[in-house]
């Protein structure tokens, strides 16, 4: 019988070392509802194909996953459109902040990648054309692949985003002017705000990421949802674009395909080997969790999990 290593002590040690960083950075208070989140929260969860889930800290407390949801909406759109998806959105790092409008004019309304806000709006538009109630379909898909039936939206967060989402509204209208949004702008925005408001814990996020760990299958779904080739493409975009204009630094320091969210979560995946999620609400200048990024760096160095 193979002995499975218990990673819990390592996870606990990593959290202990990065905890001082929770006092630095800034909670995403430009979305007022997120400004109320306790910056002292800190959790981490690890999923291994043959060892289950290991947790430490606040790994079972749910938080607003925000842009981590873009991984799941990208998968849904990719399943529906295949490579035709890349006619609507690019696959290149943007080199600009996640909410920048600068490149949209020079690129004629084609966002650089699906993980910046402009790209996620195009993906949301695709889902609006594929599903009658796109936001409910997104929620159901996440429940399906995680095996957790009571995952839900935080309506207060969604409302807060809608009331203060001026830049996202500007992006959506600008993209619409180039013909790269088909659905009504308000439908796209509401779908986007709701998907970002979905609440999950670190433990639930790594279970949802089983889909990528297992090359397109998950124990909770009988059918194959992605091909191994599609999994490689999704995780490659996570590596090059998943942490916005800090993606190069993340690849250099951490070596893990990852997707961050301004709720303070970061989800990292190595297909065939593991999924790791860390949550700490205070963000760095780029919009990535400050303590979370350092936790990933320490864990990667000590465990040897990396794509390099």
- Positions marked active-site: 67, 70, 192, 244, 262
C-alpha dist (Å) from residue 227 to 79, 80, 232, 259, 298: 10, 13, 9, 20, 31
The CA R_g of the chain, rounded to the nearest whole Å, is 18
CA atoms of 180 and 196, how far apart (whole Å): 21
C-alpha dist (Å) from residue 113 to 84, 118, 188, 197, 238: 14, 8, 17, 21, 10
- 104: tokens are 């949209």
Strands ordered across the beta sheet of 63-64: 63-64, 198-200, 152-153
Q: What is the enclosing helix (H) or strand (E) of 32? A: none
Q: What are phi and psi of 296, to 5 degrees?
A: -65, -40
Strands ordered across the beta sheet of 52-57: 52-57, 43-48, 274-279, 265-270, 258-260
C-alpha dist (Å) from residue 190 to 2, 111, 124, 158, 240: 48, 19, 9, 8, 27
């Amino acid at each position: 019988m193979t002995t499975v290593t218990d990673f819990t002590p390592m996870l606990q040690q990593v959290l202990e070392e990065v905890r001082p960083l929770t006092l630095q950075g800034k909670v995403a208070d430009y979305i007022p509802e997120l400004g109320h989140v306790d910056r002292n929260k800190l959790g981490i969860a690890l999923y291994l194909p043959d060892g289950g889930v290991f947790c430490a800290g606040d790994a079972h407390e749910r938080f607003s996953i925000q842009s981590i949801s873009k991984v799941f909406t990208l998968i849904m759109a990719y399943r529906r459109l295949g490579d035709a998806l890349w006619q609507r959105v690019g696959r290149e790092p943007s080199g600009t902040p996640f909410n920048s409008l600068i490149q949209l004019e020079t690129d004629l309304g084609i966002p650089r990648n699906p993980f910046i806000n402009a790209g996620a709006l195009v993906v949301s538009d695709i889902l609006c054309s594929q599903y009658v109630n796109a936001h409910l379909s997104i929620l159901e898909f996440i429940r399906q692949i995680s095996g957790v039936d009571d995952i839900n939206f935080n309506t207060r967060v969604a409302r807060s985003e809608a009331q203060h989402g001026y830049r996202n509204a500007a992006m959506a209208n600008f993209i619409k002017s180039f013909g790269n949004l088909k659905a009504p702008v308000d439908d796209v925005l509401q779908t986007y705000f709701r998907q970002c408001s979905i609440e999950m814990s670190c433990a639930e996020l790594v279970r949802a990421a089983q889909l990528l760990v297992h090359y397109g299958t998950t124990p909770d779904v009988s059918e194959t949802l992605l091909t191994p080739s599609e999994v490689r493409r999704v995780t490659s975009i996570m590596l090059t674009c998943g942490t916005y204009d800090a993606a190069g630094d993340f690849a250099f320091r951490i070596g893990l395909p990852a997707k961050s969210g301004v709720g303070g979560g970061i989800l990292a995946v190595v297909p065939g080997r593991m999924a790791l999620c860390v949550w700490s609400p205070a963000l760095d200048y780029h919009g990535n969790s400050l303590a979370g990024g350092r936790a990933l760096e320490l864990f990667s160095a000590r465990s040897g999990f990396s794509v390099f």
